[in-house]
């Protein structure tokens, strides 16, 4: 059995899911008589991450003071390293007050079933100036055109803080039964396989040859026992490839091109923040919690548009105090297929190459090709993966 990395800020995971069936049944019964609110999708995905142990050691939604402290210094008021606020924001809390128990209804499932019960520690209002400052701290911009900023500012400015008892994993468990996994389940599988050096790869897109080779390079250079491909299954910005298509494409790639038993294909229930460097740190925390010892951070990790420098998500790890995280980072440069060497390389490691020596395609060019039923060159994309994407683009209205 491999020795697993310790979770963040705790000796063991602190999942907030209610596992016991009798306890869950009595909570569902209690919920029917509690004041209820339909939470935002962001709050619901925070609840799912808390439920699945990914947000260990948090016990629930943050207070205003904790959120502002995290924005300012990446630490809670109690000193825990944490890079992004984990809030239950609403536009109007109605009559909800400190000490209440409230039912949180799921915005993403038909009929808005009860997702969790929250004990209210406080109901606090962020002033417009505070929301603006928190947005700037976390996203590095307050531009409303930034999809993460737009989503954050649309949630409301009333924070309901306090601990949670989560009753289910929303739509993730039912819609992605093969892929959705809690941090607990991934840890158990890593342990069962006897892995101790484990590389995690974050993705919200299908994986092209460059991503595939990047995972191989990381495993090889770190002498890793295994790879966990960990895909985001929550809400994305318009135009991103839907999770089921991405899932199918990644599974096909691993089945055909990775050694049997070397790779776990998993996913997690979270809505993308597009917060660049801060989100990269958050990614590191929940990869540590699921048992990975290393996380690949590539060019423009968790970024969007031109809001962040290409390697800002790597650089932020150099600025945090030593000991903030136990997981280590594998820094990856831009990778591309070299016509000279007939393989994918990191561009920075091929100083004798010119631009013409690489097969370089923009995301827009690739989408256009796929939309027209044309497979990108095999140096860029595996043909079997390209076919899944072509079928997706064909079926779109």
Same domain for 258 and 208:
yes
Please state whether beta strands 60-61 and 89-90 pair in parallel, antiparallel, or not at all (unpaired).
unpaired
Residue 265's domain is classified under what CATH number? 3.40.50.620
Task: Indicate whether 286 and 349 sit together in one domain.
Answer: yes
* Orientation angle between helical segments 383-395 and 243-257, nearest 10 degrees: 160
Place of tokens 């890593």: 190
Low-confidence ranges of the chain (pLDDT < 70): 1-2, 397
pLDDT of res. 239: 77
Inside any domain, residue 328: yes
Specify if 332 maps to a domain: yes
Based on the number of CB atoms within 10 Å of its own CB, is 11 exposed (0-12), middle (13-18) or buried (19 or more)? Answer: exposed
- Overall domain count for the chain: 2
Any catalytic annotation for residue 367? Answer: no
pLDDT at 397: 64
Domain extent for 365: 178-395
pTM over 0.85: yes
Same domain? 205 vs 135? no
C-alpha closest to that of 58 among 135, 48, 130: 48
> Do 155 and 246 share a domain, yes or no?
no
10 belongs to a structural domain: no
The domain that holds 156 is classified in CATH as 3.10.400.10
- The token pair at 53 is 């142990």
Q: What is the pLDDT of residues 225-238, one digit of tens each?
A: 999 999 999 988 77
DSSP state letters, 323-392: TS-SSEEEE---EEEETTTTEEEEGGG-TT--GGGEE---HHHHHHHHHTT-PPPTTTS-HHHHHHHHHH
Preceding amide of 97 cis, omega within 30 = no
pLDDT at position 184: 98
Whether residue 6 is contained in a domain is answered as: no
* Residue 261 and residue 377 in one domain: yes
- Does residue 16 lie within any of the structural domains? no
Single out the residue in 173, 200, 221 at which a domain terminates.
Answer: 173
Do 188 and 239 lie in a common domain?
Answer: yes
Co-location of 367 and 269 in the same domain: yes
Whether 315 is covered by a domain: the verdict is yes
Of residues 133, 193, 205, 331, which has the active-site annotation?
205
168 and 183 housed in the same domain: no
| Structural domain contains residue 390 | yes
Which pLDDT score is estimated for 204? Answer: 87
Q: Are residues 166 and 244 in the same domain?
A: no
- Are 311 and 229 a contacting pair, CB within 8 Å? no
What pLDDT is attached to residue 143? 98
Domain boundary among the residues 130, 156, 173 is at 173
Same domain (yes/no): 161, 190 = no
| Whether 204 is catalytic | yes
CB atoms within 10 A of CB 196: 17
Last residue of a domain, one of 132, 148, 173: 173
In-domain check, residue 1: no
**pLDDT for res 49:** 98
Q: Which of 75, 133, 193, 204 is catalytic?
A: 204
- Same domain (yes/no): 106, 239: no
For residues 165 and 240, membership in a common domain is answered with no
Asked if 74 and 281 touch (Cβ cutoff 8 Å), the reply is: yes
Query: What pLDDT shows up at residue 107?
Result: 97
Cα first-last separation, the chain: 50
């Amino acid at each position: 059995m491999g020795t697993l990395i310790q979770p963040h800020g705790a000796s063991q995971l602190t999942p907030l899911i209610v596992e016991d069936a009798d306890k869950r049944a009595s909570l569902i019964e209690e919920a029917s008589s509690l004041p209820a609110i339909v939470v935002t999708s962001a709050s619901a995905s925070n609840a799912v991450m808390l439920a699945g142990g990914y947000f260990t050691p948090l016990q629930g939604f943050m207070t205003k003071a904790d959120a502002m402290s995290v924005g300012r210094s990446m630490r809670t008021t109690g000193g825990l390293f944490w890079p992004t606020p984990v809030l239950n924001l609403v536009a109007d809390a109605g009559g909800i007050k400190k000490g209440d128990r409230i039912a949180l209804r799921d915005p993403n499932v038909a009929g808005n079933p009860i997702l969790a019960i929250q004990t209210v520690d406080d109901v606090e209002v962020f002033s417009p100036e505070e929301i603006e400052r928190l947005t700037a701290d976390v996203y590095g911009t307050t531009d409303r055109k930034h999809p993460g900023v737009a989503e954050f500012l649309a949630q409301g400015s009333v924070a309901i803080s306090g601990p949670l008892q989560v009753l289910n994993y929303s739509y993730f468990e039912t819609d992605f039964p093969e892929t959705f996994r809690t941090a607990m389940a991934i840890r158990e599988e890593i342990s069962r396989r006897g892995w101790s050096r484990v590389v995690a790869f974050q993705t919200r897109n299908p994986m092209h040859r460059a991503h595939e080779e990047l995972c191989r390079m990381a495993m090889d250079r770190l002498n890793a026992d295994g790879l966990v491909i960990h895909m985001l299954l929550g809400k994305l910005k318009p135009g991103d490839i839907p999770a089921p298509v991405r899932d199918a494409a990644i599974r096909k790639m691993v089945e055909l091109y990775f050694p049997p038993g070397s790779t776990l294909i998993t996913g997690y229930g979270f809505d993308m923040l597009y917060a660049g460097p801060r989100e990269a740190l958050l990614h590191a925390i929940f990869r540590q919690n699921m048992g990975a010892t290393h996380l690949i951070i590539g060019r423009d990790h968790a970024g969007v548009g031109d809001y962040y420098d290409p390697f800002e998500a790597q650089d932020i790890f150099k600025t945090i105090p030593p000991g903030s995280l136990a997981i280590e980072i594998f820094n990856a440069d831009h990778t591309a297929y070299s016509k000279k060497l007939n393989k994918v390389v990191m561009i920075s490691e091929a100083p004798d190459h010119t631009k013409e020596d690489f097969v370089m395609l923009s995301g827009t060019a690739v989408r256009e090709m796929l939309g027209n039923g044309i497979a990108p060159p095999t140096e860029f994309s595996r043909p079997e993966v390209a076919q899944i994407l072509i079928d997706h683009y064909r079926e779109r209205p």
